[in-house]
Amino acid sequence: MPGKLYGIGVGPGDPELLTLKAVRIIRECGVIFVPGEDYQDSVAYQIARQAVPEMERKTVIGVSVPMTRNKAERAAAHRQAAGQIFPWLDKGYEAGFLNLGDVTIYASYLYIHRLAVAQGYEAELVNGVPSFCAAAARLGTGLVEDAQQLHILPQPQQIREGLSLPGTRVIMKMGKNTGQVKLWLKESGQKIRMVERCGMQGEKVYHSADEIPEDASYYSLLIVGEQGQDDQ
Amino acid sequence: MPGKLYGIGVGPGDPELLTLKAVRIIRECGVIFVPGEDYQDSVAYQIARQAVPEMERKTVIGVSVPMTRNKAERAAAHRQAAGQIFPWLDKGYEAGFLNLGDVTIYASYLYIHRLAVAQGYEAELVNGVPSFCAAAARLGTGLVEDAQQLHILPQPQQIREGLSLPGTRVIMKMGKNTGQVKLWLKESGQKIRMVERCGMQGEKVYHSADEIPEDASYYSLLIVGEQGQDDQ
């Protein structure tokens, strides 16, 4: 009988934010896949390894999942990744695929999951804490209260329209070339906070658009507006 | 020296979705507060008790946090709750306040947190898995991929405008009197899925607006639109 595939969210950076279930499933899996050519370079692997040290004695395999906008290229990469993973399921292994943050939110694993389900494999999504929740906690503030809306925007350019939405808006990946985005943010006059590398080494917090560096890390999360009704 | 206050997200229902940190902090706290007159009736308590059985030997205190829209009434209730909690901090106790889901998203604790910080107490937010992530995992689907936006709307009436937003939209609390909302959803022709009491006893899944009951549980979560690019 083929083994089961688990997409596992390992949370945003702090190894203590893994769930009990993520820890158990990682322990039970015979093989663990992580995004990245070399598994040692994988951020998700480095987080999980600290929470589940016995993972260092497991078979861990790096899977190349390029972040390209070219759909054909991306589909080919996912088929190739599936080709690395599925033979292990056929051999009866339970397999885990680690993902930064939560596995239902912008996770590379979701593509593999669909391919697995389409090919008749049993596959399960194991939740983790999303990075935007951790960033708010790091800032000591809530994201939303009461009737406030929460809008998660994965691309910095989306903030231009997003600025007119009611409630709290989160930009997931500020990244490089933030000049234009910073201008929009400054013009808006809205409350801005950013957390770079939340829960990881080199974590930094910014409290205004002006402070945001032009070459922010890929792991930067921007929170725009509301955040607490009487918050200063 | 006064003790520290922790707002702790216990996740959406499955006790295994508590984080390692939530478990550790609950163990370390000398007193635990939970929303509800009688702590035994508290959903957050019942979830955490299964993950941390030794909590049954701890001092657990129910705190009444009414869900009223009247701001003056609500502020008075929060001051009263703070009046129950802060004397324990003054006596040097580490205190935890449990919240369903994540503590940065529509959590009653956030009001107490602000009062605590304003009065000079040390207070920390400890993340949990939000209910909308768990609902998607239960459905075996992601919430968002690639450049898709995610919009979290806490009130069913907000879906009317929300239907025209791009990406995936989540209604947090469907609740009773869903008639008008069902009509809007049906007219929109968009993909609808709902999870009632996700991870709890009596969990149910619905796959169309027609199936949604008129008297859905308060713990109902509706997902509208996208959810996977090739998803069926």
Mean pLDDT of chain B: 92
CB contact under 8 A, A149 and B151: yes
pLDDT tens per residue, range A160-207: 889 999 999 999 987 777 888 889 999 999 999 999 998 888 899 999
pLDDT band for position A142 (cuts 50, 70, 90): very high
CB contact under 8 A, B142 and A104: yes
Question: Which pLDDT belongs to residue B10?
Answer: 98
Interatomic CA distance for residues B191 and B223, integer angstroms: 8
CB contact under 8 A, A127 and B127: no
Closest CA to B98 of B107, B89, B111: B107
Question: Which pLDDT belongs to residue B11?
Answer: 97
Mean pLDDT of A38-59: 94
Question: Which pLDDT belongs to residue B232?
Answer: 33
Mean pLDDT of B72-86: 93
pLDDT band for position A229 (cuts 50, 70, 90): low
Mean pLDDT of chain A: 92
CB contact under 8 A, B19 and A126: no
pLDDT above 80 (res B27):
yes
Question: Which pLDDT belongs to residue B65?
Answer: 83
High-pLDDT (> 70) share of chain B, %: 98
Question: A140: which chain B residues are within 8 Å (Cβ-Cβ)?
Answer: 113, 117, 123-125
Interface ipTM? 0.94
pLDDT above 80 (res A37):
yes
* CA distance, residue A18 to nearest chain B CA (Å): 5
pLDDT tens per residue, range B182-232: 899 999 999 999 999 988 888 999 999 999 988 888 889 999 998 765 443
CB contact residues (below 8 A), chain B span 88-117, against chain A: 102-107, 110-111, 113-114, 117
Least confident of A83-87, A204-208, B50-54, B158-162: B158-162
Question: Which pLDDT belongs to residue B71?
Answer: 84
Helix H, strand E, coil C: the string for chain B is CCCCEEEEECECCCHHHCEHHHHHHHHHCCEEEEECCCHHHCHHHHHHHHHCHHHHHCEEEEECCCCCCCHHHHHHHHHHHHHHHHHHHHCCCCEEEEECECCCECCCHHHHHHHHHHCCCCEEEECCCCHHHHHHHHCCCCCECCCCCEEEECCHHHHHHHCCCCCEEEECCCCECCHHHHHHHHHHCCCEEEEECCCCCCCEEECCCCCCCCECCCCEEEEECCCCCCCC
CB contact residues (below 8 A), chain B span 212-231, against chain A: 228, 230-231
Question: Which pLDDT belongs to residue A230?
Answer: 47
Question: Which pLDDT belongs to residue B231?
Answer: 40
Question: Which pLDDT belongs to residue B80?
Answer: 93
CB contact under 8 A, B152 and A151: yes
pLDDT band for position A111 (cuts 50, 70, 90): very high
Location of structure tokens 């009461």: A146
Question: B105: which chain A residues are within 8 Å (Cβ-Cβ)?
Answer: 133, 142-144, 150
CB contact under 8 A, B19 and A129: yes
